[in-house]
Amino acid sequence: MENGSVLVEMQRWFGDLTLNISVRMVAGKRYFGTSSILDDEARRISQATKDLFRLTGMFVVSDFVPFLGWLDFQGHEKAMKRTAKEVDYILGGWLEEHRRNKLGGGTKVQQDFMAVMLSILKDEKFFGYNADAVTKATCLNMLLGGTDTTMVTLTWALSLLLNNRHILKKAQAEIDTQVGKDTQVDESDIVKLVYLQAIVKETLRLYPAVPLSAPHESIKDCTIAGYHIPAGTRLITNGPTF
């Protein structure tokens, strides 16, 4: 550009970063930031998570007019089933890989979240679901909960800092003083970076990643915040304050 500045799309980079961290914790795999970024499985899990978030927030007519559900004239239900099948296939592959590694010997087993779930749940039944279904569902929740919300918060934080350079300079000065100019910030340093913590909290206050919680349906009559909620009512609470 003429003024020497360059436009950079950080949302995708933050998305790959947070997904990579989540996948490593959950399944012990690393996709992004290495040569394996071109692997088919990496593309599939990245696209599947994006589709899940997009479809979760999609307006579906049958949600509000149930008797039109059989039409699916928007095609959203078909897309949801296809995405769910894709996610289940990927998580099922991870599960079988962990099971084979466990049978192959302790040296190959990584103590990631899925490995711990396998060792704890085994073949028990939970509310009518087998252990594999519970493990896959829990791991999926871990991936979804730690990916998109973190990406959104990081993107807003960077945007706010770039639009308030005096705040950015104060944060840089704190890091230089508490950590050092030639030293990378480590997780153990966060407790000393009080100003940086305040920046994150202010970002969450101004632009909460989840202003409303996911929709829930009451299975029986209940009372929430003084309001009577009949059984079968769809309920969306205010995430940050509830």
Residues 117, 25: Cα–Cα separation, whole Å: 12
Per-residue exposure over 217-227, b if at least 16 CB sit within 10 Å of its own CB, e if not: eeeeeeeeeee
71 and 104 part of one domain: yes
pLDDT score for 138: 92
Q: Are residues 202 and 241 in the same domain?
A: no
Strand partners, 27: none
Query: Can you give the pLDDT at residue 36?
Result: 46
pLDDT of residue 157: 95
Shared domain for 77 and 96, answered yes or no, is: yes
From first to last of its 242 residues, what are the pLDDT tens digits of the chain? 556 677 888 888 898 888 888 988 998 887 755 444 446 777 888 888 888 888 877 778 777 777 777 788 778 888 889 999 999 999 999 999 888 887 766 555 568 899 888 888 877 777 788 888 999 999 998 888 888 889 999 999 999 999 999 999 999 999 999 999 889 999 999 999 999 999 999 999 999 887 777 778 888 999 988 889 999 888 887 755 44
Neighbouring CB atoms inside 10 A of 8's CB total: 7
Same domain as 87, residue 10: yes
DSSP string, 53-96: HHHHT---HHHHSGGGTTT-TTSHHHHHHHHHHHHHHHHHHHHH
- Given this model, what pLDDT does residue 110 score? 64
- Same domain flag for 94 and 140: yes
Q: How high is the pLDDT of residue 177?
A: 95
- Residue 121 and residue 135 in contact, taking contact as beta carbons nearer than 8 Å: yes
98 shares its domain with 173: no
pLDDT at site 198: 97
Q: Tell me, what's the pLDDT at 139?
A: 92
Same domain for 9 and 101:
yes
- Domain with 227, as residue range(s), is 211-242
What's the confidence (pLDDT) of residue 144?
85
What's the pLDDT at 100? Answer: 86
Residues 54 and 108 in one domain: yes
User: What is the total count of domains within the chain?
Assistant: 3
Which stretches of the chain are assigned E, i.e. beta strand?
216-217, 222-224, 227-229, 234-235
Whether 225 and 136 share a structural domain? no
Question: Is 88 in the same domain as 197?
Answer: no
